[in-house]
Amino acid sequence: MTWFLRNWDQVALALWEHVTISLTALTIAFALSLGIGILAARRERIYAAALAVAGFLYTIPTLAFLALLIPVVGLGRTNAIIAMVAFSLLILIRNVATGIRNVPADVVDAARGMGMSAAQILARVELPLALPVIVAGLRIAAVTVISVTVVAAYVNAGGLGTLIFNGIASDHPPKIWAGALAACALAVSVDLALATLERRLRRTRV
């Protein structure tokens, strides 16, 4: 605790790095998944193929994935972000596709009957109705990405994991405590925040 009070700026900096890396990865993963998920919602074969590939990527152990990328992209943040994007695809694509598929066919029919184009139906009917399911996916993906970022400190990506690894290397428990507890707190609070958002969205729609 005294270590934390004396070095809170160090922890805050690591936390900031952690958040920015996670957010970058999540944004890229979300943009990709939105595109793939929309296509997958329309075609069963794309859905099956996308989920098979994403499922394979998801099963690879985090550290192994980061390690396998080293010969290709070397150490650092790029490596970590590629790994995180790969890990979040499964959950995000699945939820985008499921969300769109769960929109009742009559609602889409009604929109078509009102003269909306396919693009308008997607933007103004399907995506808004799919939003709670998409946010549910984002919630799991965000927690996954935060968790991967901790490990990514080992390939020099920065973030709270740096404190943990420095603490382990120099046998300095307060540093381990600060890094690990801050990472847990970040994951839990992001999860709760997105859970609240999801609940709000479900209540206002339908």
DSSP labels for 96-155? Answer: HHHHHHTS-HHHHHHHHHTT--HHHHIIIIIHHHHHHHHHHHHHHHHHHHHHHHHHHGGG
Angle among Cα 121, 23, 123 to the nearest 5 degrees reads: 5
70 is a site residue for another protein (CB under 8 A): yes
183 is a site residue for another protein (CB under 8 A): yes
82 is a site residue for another protein (CB under 8 A): no
Pick the binder of another protein from 117, 173, 196, 200 (CB under 8 A). 173
Report the nearest approach of another protein to the CB of residue 13 (Å).
Answer: 18
Angle among Cα 67, 12, 17 to the nearest 5 degrees reads: 35
Q: Which two tokens stand for residue 89?
A: 């695809």
Pick the binder of another protein from 32, 39, 82, 154 (CB under 8 A). 154
Q: Which two tokens stand for residue 206?
A: 């339908």
Taking CA atoms, 177 is separated from 4, 63, 107, 147, 170, in Å, by 9, 21, 52, 16, 13
For residue 8, give the amino acid letter.
W
50 is a site residue for another protein (CB under 8 A): no
164 is a site residue for another protein (CB under 8 A): yes
Number of residues binding to another protein, judged by CB under 8 A:
36
Stretch that binds another protein, among 22-30, 56-64, 104-112, 123-131 (CB under 8 A): 56-64
The span from the CA of 18 to the CA of 153, in Å, is 9
71 is a site residue for another protein (CB under 8 A): yes
Report the nearest approach of another protein to the CB of residue 175 (Å).
Answer: 10
Q: Binding residues for another protein, per CB under 8 A?
A: 56, 59-65, 67-68, 70-71, 75, 143, 146-147, 150-151, 154-155, 161, 164-165, 167-168, 173, 176-177, 179-181, 183-184, 187-188, 191
